[in-house]
Structure 1
């Protein structure tokens, strides 16, 4: 679903587990997600088209999954591995 025209260009999500405390910032203008250490602000990585993402409009956090919604469909990113993959995969 495309974002509404009034949606902010960036969205911030905080994800924590026993050994991670991250801020994940969706940048709609550049279709990427930037990950930062929430404790010291240190940049950790950037996910973008080269990482397997395409359109980045909105983030939804569900446990150890970050769901990335965009006009070309949804992708999920397993946390803390940060590897994007299609939301639905064919199983055999």
Structure 2
């Protein structure tokens, strides 16, 4: 004779339905599930490191862009000063 199925209370049933563990994983032995969790944790750590590295690189590039903008502004001002000086000298030379 078959054993009667185990009854679940409503809370257990809802928990079972909401569980993030896939049906395939539920059937897997506990050691395999732990291995999967370890792999996921390793993958998460690797992704976090990559994200942090990308964020630091972004900040470094933003700082470089800011420095280059300042340098460009300085170069433009120098160019404008040189142009004015050349114009002044040309006018002075034309007066002679």
TM over 0.5: no
Of Structure 1 and Structure 2, the greater helix share is in: 2
TM-score (norm 1): 0.19
TM-score (norm 2): 0.18
Q: Which has the higher contact order (CA 8 A, sep 6+)?
A: 1
Of Structure 1 and Structure 2, the greater strand share is in: 1
